Structure 1
Amino acid sequence: MTHTLRPDPTFYPSPRLAMEAEPEHLCYTALLSPDRSRPDALAVVDLDPASPKYGSVLHRVDLPHKGDELHHFGWNACSSALSPLSGHAFLQRRYLIVPGMRSSRMYVFDTQPDPTQPRLVKTIEPDEILRKTGYSRPHTVHCGPEGIYVSTLGGRGADGTQGPPGIFLMDCQTFEVLGRWEIDRGPQERHYDFWWNLPRDYMVSSEWALPPQFENGIVPEDLLANRYGHALHFWNLRERRHVQSIDLGANHQMSLEIRPAHDPSREYGFVGVVVDTTNLEASVWTWYRENGKFHARKTATIPPEPAPADQLPPLLKGFGAVPPLVSDIDLSLDDKHLYVACWGTGELRQYDVSDPMKPELAGSVRIGGIARHEPHPTGRAFGGGPQMIEISRDGKRVYFTNSLYSTWDAQFYPDGIAGVQAMCKVNGSMDLDREFFVEFGADYGAHQVRLQGGDCSTDSYCYSSA
């Protein structure tokens, strides 16, 4: 591991300084084989409008195994390394840590010396993760001041239900699995996403499902019986201790992406809820801390859209409507705009969250959708709907892909979802970019996107914007 003599120039003390950085030139996109007939892959996409290869795949690295189901990968290090509590200020944003959610295997890619040609340099086998942590199904990777944090969705046993899932830590230089993060987990039994406020010393985590509830597709009986996750958990970060739970209500099924304010002086954030089983609507909640206690309030709702049964997959025919199915949310670095992916209805929404308690719908684009099948402005087909979102540091470009999880894709979009990455330009209004439309083909679903130099869901900041 080579050390620089100063912090990586893509580490930024504050969100505002990150916004002033040069635009991204590349991104890395996780591709998965929907039927597991071929290995998953990592694609490198050209994002430079001045390049003759703009919007095309520059390189693809196929993994050595089949059936990994790549998901939410991240960097070995990011702006959190500038924490005054960190001994790691001279790391580089160099390695991509890529979890296989179905296989429980993890991969480490080196993006140097040529960022367009990432190389697989380490494979972490599932038995190592299980032996050292008791966890399986690694899901989300975040770079913290002292190491790499990985959330999981399963425990021990063939079906991952022996013991609760949680978070484990990896060394950010050797990539050794160190062990469980939690010292006192309290009542937390399910997991999904997590984020933190470093100076304020707390973590927030959310809940999706246990492996039998997602690996072979959504389980309608469990959904209608409100057996998916519906709570937020709050933790003391330094003490690694559970301090509070907030149940959003059993009807608010699947509390997924956690997006805290980027400015660490602001003690609030957002979480997206996939579906309300009483009315099929989706919602966004604002959580916040006041007088030492955490609270959460539903601040935006998105209604289902009626549709004739012949336009619906078998799963939804009895409902006569398409639920929005909010699968991802992402917050711009200035904490002003929250983007909400409605994977079911095929809509990407932009909310003005200048007042986090009163999100106001500020923009919307339509593409894909279970019933609408809205094409791209170029006329090209877009299967699925907006799913994983990634915002450029300057807030002017919002990239998104269209696959949620292979077995769920097949249930909600039985015709298949050919992997696509598209982009909206934000300049007062939000509009789909006609020039940018990356097709990965019918053999691949497209999931997480990571922008070169960091983006709005990779980095956490230790200093407020001046």
Structure 2
Amino acid sequence: MVNRSFKNNTLVVALSAVLGPLAVLFYGMLASPPALADETCNSPYISNLIKGQEEFAYVWTLGVQGMGDGSDKLVTVDVNPASKKYGKVLTSLSVGSRGEAHHIGFTDDRRFVWAGGLDDNKIYVFDIYTDPAKPKLVKTISDFAAKSGFVGPHTFYAMPGRMLVGGLSNNKDHGGVTGMALYNNKGDFVSKYDMPTAKGGDGYGYDIGINPGKNALLTSSFTGWNNYMMDMGKLLKDPAAMKNFGGSLVMWNLKSMQPEKVMSVPGAPLEVRWSLKDGEDWAITATALTSKLWLVKKDAKGGWQAKDVANIGDPAKIPLPVDISITADGKGLWVNTFMDGTTHYFDLSNPEAPKETYSKHTGSQVNMVSQSWDGKRVYISSSLLANWDKKGADDEQFLKLFSWDGKELKEQWKIDFYKLKLGRAHHIKFGSSSLRSAY
């Protein structure tokens, strides 16, 4: 339903010159045919998709002062079982500074990965097409805060010939009020969109998820720079700071890029995942502070509604749900809870009533979870934020691969990022050398 191909961007570029960015977005919404994909959390506009076994895992990694070169870096791992270097680091590409590395995302043609720093507001563009096993840093974008007024570039969501960048904060008071900035694929700023602060909107932002068939863009909410750069122990003991978390989802009109409805979702809803099954029109998210799954779906009158549908672990213990990954058929959901280091699996056969059917302790702290399209492989990384990661022996930093047979997660290998002096492993994306043959 959602995955579509843009193998030729000539028309997109022409439309951009004549009609502007919004027309380009709507063209992409209507014109792109369905295609298979390799991951379940990418933008629906990404073309040149992996079919089958991924070969590389790109891990956006936070630098640690005094460890190696201390810089943030893109680490490339060999994940091809047929390779002699399977489960080993191939390259480590430093950006020369430490700016709270966090999320990454592909451009629509999948030739480049954009990566951001939540503290220094820099955006790094890596070429993963020329040599997928050895990415190259080709551009650094430094005008995110200056051009948009936002800070903390978090989500990188591919549009036709464009990149939509969701911010976490602003450069006036470093609070949670923020928005989205639109760039073209060359890295030029195009426009910005403020998160709504009227009609129930809190102005906060976090993730972006698009359902092109429903002309729907859904955003979630988190917290500002003042909080996410604070030590977690201090934050949890600060009642005033704990009030400064988002509690809303916003449904936007994709064609006009205007907010249409604000939905109250208390507790900082994070990752947004639309069902990928044909004919379905619902999305799901997890709230970090209240440990719940929320379903977003149209009601009988055709209006979008959000409702609490399940608990994740014991909410009273604040397990802190972080990343989630929906299965390709929309019938299952992986959820990582950071505080107790647990990976949960929910049966979504009835999205109105998800049921947890499996859980496993996968590390002292776990954050990102990425599964292969066939659902047989699950990758897990450890770092949340530099000042939120645990202390002492519990501060494990790793990338792990698990196999999944529908009954049990079985660890295949683990890469210790501290032992290799790489830093804190965060966001994961897949790559393959076979993609180059598509051009």
State the AA in 2 paired with 1:295.
Answer: Q
Q: Is the 8 A contact 1:273 1:283 kept in 2?
A: yes
Match of 1:391 in 2: 371
Q: 2:331 aligns with which of 314, 336, 350?
A: 336
Q: Which runs of 5+ in 2 are unaligned?
A: 1-5, 11-31, 40-49, 434-439
Q: Indicate how the Cα distance of structure 1 residues 155 and 36 shifts in structure 2: closer, same or farther if over 3 A, else same.
A: farther
Match of 1:349 in 2: 344
Q: Which runs of 5+ in 1 are unaligned?
A: 78-91, 277-281, 306-320, 370-383, 455-466
Encode CA deviations 1:251-299: one digit per residue, 9 max, x unaligned.
xx221111111246311111111123xxxxx111111112331112212
Q: Indicate how the Cα distance of structure 1 residues 255 and 245 shifts in structure 2: closer, same or farther if over 3 A, else same.
A: same
2:188 is the alignment partner of 1:176: yes
Q: 2:63 aligns with which of 33, 41, 45?
A: 33
2:40 is the alignment partner of 1:62: no
Q: Report the CA distance between 1:211 and its aligned residue.
A: 1.2
Q: Is the 8 A contact 2:9 2:161 kept in 1?
A: no
Match of 1:262 in 2: 276
CA distance in 2, matches of 1:5, 1:124: 25
Encode CA deviations 1:91-134: one digit per residue, 9 max, x unaligned.
x3110101111110010000132111111000111xx2223211
Encode CA deviations 1:53-103: one digit per residue, 9 max, x unaligned.
1111011101122x21111100011xxxxxxxxxxxxxx311010111111
Match of 1:441 in 2: 418
2:244 is the alignment partner of 1:237: no
CA distance in 2, matches of 1:223, 1:261: 36
Q: Report the CA distance between 1:362 and its aligned residue.
A: 2.5
Q: Indicate how the Cα distance of structure 1 residues 100 and 6 shifts in structure 2: closer, same or farther if over 3 A, else same.
A: closer
Q: Indicate how the Cα distance of structure 1 residues 437 and 395 shifts in structure 2: closer, same or farther if over 3 A, else same.
A: same
Q: How does 1:88-167 map to 2 (within 5 A)?
A: 92-125=109-142, 128-157=143-172, 159-161=173-175, 164-167=177-180
State the AA in 1 paired with 2:85.
Answer: K
Encode CA deviations 1:147-167: one digit per residue, 9 max, x unaligned.
11110011123x524x93111
Encode CA deviations 1:169-195: one digit per residue, 9 max, x unaligned.
1112x1212220359774341111111
Going by fraction, where is helix more abundant, 1 or 2? 2
Q: 2:263 aligns with which of 239, 246, 254?
A: 246
Q: Indicate how the Cα distance of structure 1 residues 198 and 222 shifts in structure 2: closer, same or farther if over 3 A, else same.
A: farther
Paired residue secondary structure (2:60): strand
Match of 2:354 in 1: 359
Match of 2:82 in 1: 50
State the AA in 2 paired with 1:101.
Answer: L
Q: Is the 8 A contact 2:155 2:166 kept in 1?
A: yes
Paired residue secondary structure (2:279): coil
Q: What TM-score comes out, normalization by structure 2 length?
A: 0.81
Encode CA deviations 1:7-42: one digit per residue, 9 max, x unaligned.
9xxxx9446566892210111001112448711111
Q: Report the CA distance between 1:225 and its aligned residue.
A: 5.5
CA distance in 1, matches of 2:34, 2:404: 22
Percent of pairs with identical residues: 25
State the AA in 2 paired with 1:449.
Answer: I
Q: Indicate how the Cα distance of structure 1 residues 4 and 194 shifts in structure 2: closer, same or farther if over 3 A, else same.
A: closer
CA distance in 2, matches of 1:109, 1:191: 25
Match of 1:81 in 2: none
Encode CA deviations 1:288-311: one digit per residue, 9 max, x unaligned.
112331112212213449xxxxxx
Paired residue secondary structure (1:131): helix
Q: Is the 8 A contact 1:93 1:453 kept in 2?
A: no
Q: Report the CA distance between 1:353 and its aligned residue.
A: 0.6
Q: Report the CA distance between 1:244 and its aligned residue.
A: 1.1
Q: Report the CA distance between 1:247 and its aligned residue.
A: 1.3
CA distance in 2, matches of 1:420, 1:75: 23
Match of 1:211 in 2: 225
Q: Report the CA distance between 1:367 and its aligned residue.
A: 2.2
CA distance in 2, matches of 1:197, 1:21: 22
Q: Is the 8 A contact 2:196 2:203 kept in 1?
A: no
Paired residue secondary structure (1:98): strand
Q: 1:294 aligns with which of 293, 296, 304?
A: 304
CA distance in 1, matches of 2:397, 2:157: 25
Match of 1:309 in 2: none
Match of 1:426 in 2: 404
Q: What is the count of residue pairs matched by the alignment?
A: 387
Q: Is the 8 A contact 1:200 1:264 kept in 2?
A: no
CA distance in 2, matches of 1:283, 1:28: 29
Q: Is the 8 A contact 2:151 2:167 kept in 1?
A: yes
Q: What TM-score comes out, normalization by structure 1 length?
A: 0.77
Q: Is the 8 A contact 1:188 1:233 kept in 2?
A: no
CA distance in 2, matches of 1:197, 1:449: 22
CA distance in 2, matches of 1:273, 1:118: 34
Q: How does 1:311-326 map to 2 (within 5 A)?
A: 322-326=317-321
2:206 is the alignment partner of 1:192: yes
